[in-house]
Each structure stands twice: as C-alpha cells, then as structure tokens.
Amino acid sequence: MASQGPSNCGWPNEEAGARNRFTTMPSEILLKIVSQLPSKYFLDLVQTCRMLRNFIKINASRICNEKIRSEFEFEAKLLQTELHSGWLVPTSPKVKEDETDFTYFIIPKSLLRSSNQFRNFHLLGEVKEEPTIGLSLSTPSPQFLHFLEQGLLDICSDPGEELLAVLGMLAY
C-alpha cells in the first residue's frame, strides 16, 4: 500500500512526481487556477492537504478579488468596488442603503441577537439599541463574491427606475 503522508498532499507515491509539479508551481499560476473554480469548492480544496489549506488561507482575499475582477467585472464597476483591508468591497451608496433597509425592514427585530446590535448614545442621555447585519456586503470578506455568484443582483433597465436595485441581498 502506498503511503499518503501530508507531504504527498494525500496522493499515492506513484503520483508524487505529478503532485510535485502541482505543489511547486509559482503561486501566481496556482492563484489563477484556484480563482477559476466556483467558491463552493474552496472548502474541498482546504481539506485536501496542508499546502492548499495554507495557500488558500494566506491568499483568500487575492483569490476572491481575482475572481471578482475576471467574472464580475461589470457588476464590480457598477457597485463601485474598492479595496478595503485587502478585499474588494462595494462602495456604492445604493448598497449601503439596501443593507440598512434589509436590516430594518426585512429582519424582524425578534430575530436579531443582542450581539448584532450596537448602542447609540444620544446627547439627552437615552440609549437606543439599533440592529446591524452581522456580515454585510461592504464588510471586507468573501461575502461580496458569494453574493455575486448567487446572482442576487437585479439591474433595472427602465429609465424611470434607479439604475441599480439590489434585491434579496442576503436571502439565499
């Protein structure tokens, strides 16, 4: 029986030569390959071997950014994406508005955990608990890529409507 130690990335010894070409390729090429995969397979990749787990962990923002730039170029421009903490995030005022609307009108207050609220202190001494989304599209994370892959963006073409409408933003 062939050994399958961590140095082999889980592959039998006879495949070690092919594996070495894979694991020793330049990180920029591996980045391009991984960024072509649907993000739903990223978990499978990180569970394959330590090398891939470390590569994806270290390069998560670069992988997501590359995927957004290559597959969602139009949407990224429309949503005015910018780099924040290494991640591409939408900065369009419409996205912020829809995140606020989603928080206040879609999520019943009874479903919001107290950890998802922040305290707003007013000059008159009153304290108001306001609900917040735990992880929003504008938070630097893979959430924006996931949103784009789910196809939840609805772009209005009627001249009487606003150019952009984000519908069902986090309801997937």
> According to DSSP H, which parts of the chain are helical?
16-23, 27-35, 42-46, 50-71, 73-78, 93-101, 143-150
| 90 and 28 belong to one structural domain | no
Where among 54, 70, 86 does a domain terminate? 70
Q: What pLDDT is stored for residue 92 in this prediction?
A: 86
Helix axes 143-150, 50-71, angle to 10 degrees: 60
Residue ranges making up the domain that contains 83: 72-172
Name 7's Cβ contacts closer than 8 Å, sequence gap at least 6: none
Residue 3 forms part of a structural domain = no
- Number of compact structural domains in the chain: 2
Residue that is last in its domain, among 50, 70, 90: 70
- pLDDT tens per residue, range 43-93: 898 898 888 899 999 999 999 999 999 999 998 998 899 999 999 999 988
Pick the last residue of a domain from 55, 70, 85. 70
Q: Is position 172 within any domain?
A: yes
CA separation, residue 58 to residues 6, 27, 54, 78, 129 (Å): 19, 11, 6, 28, 36
Q: pTM for the complete prediction?
A: 0.64
Note the pLDDT of residue 85: 94
